[in-house]
Structure 1
Amino acid sequence: MAVKIMDLSKSNRFYPWLSVFGFVLLLLSTYHLTKETSWTGSISLKSDAVAPVGPVVPVAPVALEASGTEAKVGLHFGDPDGELTLSDNEFHKLLDHGLHKRQNFWNNAIRNGQAKIDLMNGPRVQARLSNYYDLAANGWDYEDEVRDEAMVITGKWVEIYEQLGIDPENDNDIDNHQSQRFSNCMFRNLPPTGGSFENRYNPKGRMITGVNNYSPYSKLQGQANVTIGTNTNVAPFQRVPDLQKWSQVVAIVWSHLAGNDAHNLKYIFKMGIVTTATQQVMIEAARRQPINMQSANTFEFTTEWPGYKFGAGSDGYAALMGTPHGVGIAYLLHEHPDQFGTKTVESITIFTNPDDYPTYHMLFTLTD
């Protein structure tokens, strides 16, 4: 039996190609890590309450390296909160295909949430931008809304406030709009993104309510890349302010209003949830309750207050912490130990209110 011996002189010619292939795989894995990692930029930019003027220019010494048709920056700080992505049709098909795929969806939601729970429970680092003047320096305005009849709580919300010991007379409706030109860690004098965070703050009632929130990244997402100076195809995630997360802005406003009592925060409502990813997890969490008052095949969640409560350590708690709305709470606590110390989320309550539109709501109760 003849044994074929490899010609090493010929095989050596393949080694450079194998090296190139390995290098490409390394780049791809690095790119994937960057896309999944919560970066907000690591280069410090001094706060300045005066809006910059003049043309958009790169911030020295950070320069983008134009290569072909894509700008190379090495800093991904677009939407750090991320979210599950599943369309309504995909979700319905998933449920139609039976228990196995539904279980996979649920397991993925739990894993996603556990990562945020670990972040929240791990070592905490105070956010670099956490002062009131950082708002204006990043293009955010501050509007204290004059309360009118539309803002006064009614119906079921009166009962909820009473049960939690919250006086609605102490509500402060604050709107923050990213409406001014700003600088980030790569460019100066960028145009406003149109992002807006509209929230209700009640320091005496120890409560924050997320009412209507659109991050700068979400407002730019889907827009075409642009050319800035010599930098071609600058993507939307490169054109957002350093101060861009709901958790960052809310922490600043809360501390501004609550002062030395900022650490007393107890309740965070996420009101009128329209995000499909969050609704899907809420629906599945409700399905899995021992006493479920809705059909196993419904695509809606209809249980009114007091709804369903999920304590820390449960699967429902983990899955809900991984939703876009839960992620913001994890970052709020993780990045602001000066305000909140070692607080964590004690429980999550999901409920609906048929008098509202949208009807889906969540309550995050924090530890004391």
Structure 2
Amino acid sequence: MSSFNRFTAFASLVTLLICLGIIARSIPSISEVAHLATSDHNLPHAIVRNLLVRDLLDTSSTTPKPDPKEELSKEDWDKQVCKGGLLLDMMGKSNDDEAGKLFNPPREHAASDFQDFPNDFKKWGYSFVDQTQELKKNLAHDDLDKVFKDLGVSHQEDQWVGTRVWHVTDPDAAEKDKDNIDHQTYVVDGKTYRSSGADYSFAVNPNDGVLIIFDSFSPTIMGTHRTPLLSGDGLPSMQRLCDIVWGLWATQADGHDLKYIIIQDIMNWLTLGINREAHNRKGEQDDPWPGVEFSTDSDEGKALMASPNGYGVAYLLIQHKKQLGKYRKVSKITMYDTRGDDEPSMLLQLS
């Protein structure tokens, strides 16, 4: 091994140890971590993921949320930077086998269990609703033409497909009466499940390699609106945004290279806090397009990568190396607030 490679390996090890030290200081008890770790072993860096679930993604009404204008503490910021660095490290692994070793417990490969699309959508109770007509309004209303022009992306309507991915078995009945969702069911391997009403809205441009996420309401979130409440093992096994996004891309843009992912109108309080801190550290303000660009080599870019909105895209690349490319990673993140309403959009550029 060359001296350069030895130095790089040593530097990576030091970074990992520092990150684990920062993360360890935030763990309240071994028993709590053990309990969290048993909830899902199919995610990279279980300790990191558990902290994300506990600290970042808890949407229960009993969990107090900080003032959305409150600044992140130095410790919280350092945690985000380290988490983002770990996710980027996993994206950079050369193959599924190598990335799989970083799971807890280690897996033979990192690939997602959901690969058979569009069949997996039908199996797990999801329906597609065409939204191409509604998409025309969104593309005009969100002033995306400036973004598309700078990226060299077509704004022509015939290049775009709008799709609602809805966790209902009868979209027409659900559209007429939302309470009807409580009575919709599907069967997987002999077990009857109830529809959660999870709701996603996308736009896809296969030729230019662009996917836009307009809305994303997961089974976990929408299950709280069901009567009776839907949670735990009553939720579909296929419920993570990364699998939904990949399934849609595989169904509507198979064979095309995914280059850009745009997440519109972000409202997640933690992502907003990370974005605000990233801007402050760079001495920038929230601006309309072209906004502010953050390299994922920077601390600001790593922190945004670890945000609730960035994390799903990271996981998409980690678990779909075979289809998307073994060395694919997010190289740049651009934040911009076209409407000036403190609900910025996030552009993730893949390399």
Q: Offset at 1:115?
A: 3.0
**2:34 paired residue among 30, 34, 39:** 30
**Aligned equivalent of 1:129:** 114
Q: Alpha carbons of 1:145 and 1:29: their partners in 2 closer, same or farther (altered >3 Å)?
A: closer
* Partner SS, residue 174 of structure 1: strand
Q: Offset at 1:116?
A: 2.3
Q: Alpha carbons of 1:27 and 1:250: their partners in 2 closer, same or farther (altered >3 Å)?
A: same
Q: Does 1:276 find its partner at 2:269?
A: yes
Give the letter for the 2:78 counterpart: N
Q: Offset at 1:38?
A: 5.4
CA distance in 1, matches of 2:301, 2:262: 15
Q: Offset at 1:33?
A: 2.6
Q: Offset at 1:84?
A: 1.6
Q: Alpha carbons of 1:336 and 1:89: their partners in 2 closer, same or farther (altered >3 Å)?
A: closer
Q: Offset at 1:119?
A: 3.0
Q: Offset at 1:102?
A: 2.7
CA distance in 1, matches of 2:266, 2:219: 18
Q: Alpha carbons of 1:26 and 1:275: their partners in 2 closer, same or farther (altered >3 Å)?
A: closer
Q: Identical aligned pairs, as a percentage? A: 20
Give the letter for the 1:303 counterpart: D
Q: Alpha carbons of 1:179 and 1:161: their partners in 2 closer, same or farther (altered >3 Å)?
A: same
TM-score (norm 1): 0.67
Matches within 5 A, 1:77-96: 82=53, 84=56, 89-90=66-67, 92=69, 95=71
CA distance in 2, matches of 1:103, 1:276: 17
Give the letter for the 2:36 counterpart: H
* Partner SS, residue 139 of structure 1: coil
Q: Offset at 1:189?
A: 1.0
Normalized per residue, the structure richer in helix is 2
Residues 284-307 of structure 1: per-residue CA shift (max 9 Å, x gap): 100011x42x4xxxxxxx322111
Q: Offset at 1:252?
A: 1.4
Q: Offset at 1:153?
A: 2.5
**Aligned equivalent of 2:104:** none
Matches within 5 A, 1:5-44: 28-35=32-39, 39=42
Q: Offset at 1:141?
A: 0.4
**1:163 paired residue among 133, 150, 166:** 150
Matches within 5 A, 1:1-368: 28-35=32-39, 39=42, 82=53, 84=56, 89-90=66-67, 92=69, 95=71, 102-122=73-93, 123-124=95-96, 125-130=110-115, 131-148=117-134, 149-154=136-141, 156-169=143-156, 170-180=159-169, 181-183=185-187, 188-221=191-224, 236-261=231-256, 264-289=257-282, 291-292=283-284, 294=285, 302-342=286-326, 343-354=328-339, 359-367=343-351
Q: Offset at 1:171?
A: 1.5
The structure that has the greater radius of gyration is: 1
* Partner SS, residue 182 of structure 1: strand
* Partner SS, residue 218 of structure 1: helix
Q: Alpha carbons of 1:146 and 1:155: their partners in 2 closer, same or farther (altered >3 Å)?
A: closer
Q: Offset at 1:312?
A: 2.4
CA distance in 2, matches of 1:215, 1:366: 24
Residues 216-246 of structure 1: per-residue CA shift (max 9 Å, x gap): 11222588997xxxxxxxx812211111111
* Partner SS, residue 193 of structure 2: coil
Give the letter for the 1:174 counterpart: T
TM-score (norm 2): 0.71
Residues 55-93 of structure 1: per-residue CA shift (max 9 Å, x gap): xxxxxxxxxxxxxxxxxxxxxxx999736269664555x
Q: Offset at 1:103?
A: 1.8
Q: Alpha carbons of 1:29 and 1:361: their partners in 2 closer, same or farther (altered >3 Å)?
A: closer
Residues 186-205 of structure 1: per-residue CA shift (max 9 Å, x gap): x7111101111111111112
Q: Offset at 1:327?
A: 0.8
Q: Alpha carbons of 1:361 and 1:333: their partners in 2 closer, same or farther (altered >3 Å)?
A: same
* Partner SS, residue 363 of structure 1: strand
2:132 and 2:163 in contact (8 A); partners too: no
CA distance in 2, matches of 1:270, 1:81: 19
Q: Offset at 1:127?
A: 1.8
Q: Offset at 1:335?
A: 1.2
Q: Alpha carbons of 1:81 and 1:210: their partners in 2 closer, same or farther (altered >3 Å)?
A: farther
Q: Alpha carbons of 1:154 and 1:167: their partners in 2 closer, same or farther (altered >3 Å)?
A: farther
CA distance in 2, matches of 1:138, 1:253: 14
> Structure 2: 5+ residue runs without aligned partners?
1-28, 44-48, 58-62, 97-109, 170-184
1:349 and 1:364 in contact (8 A); partners too: yes
CA distance in 2, matches of 1:81, 1:38: 14
Give the paired residue count: 278
* Partner SS, residue 254 of structure 2: helix
**Aligned equivalent of 1:70:** none
Q: Alpha carbons of 1:81 and 1:182: their partners in 2 closer, same or farther (altered >3 Å)?
A: farther
CA distance in 2, matches of 1:238, 1:80: 21
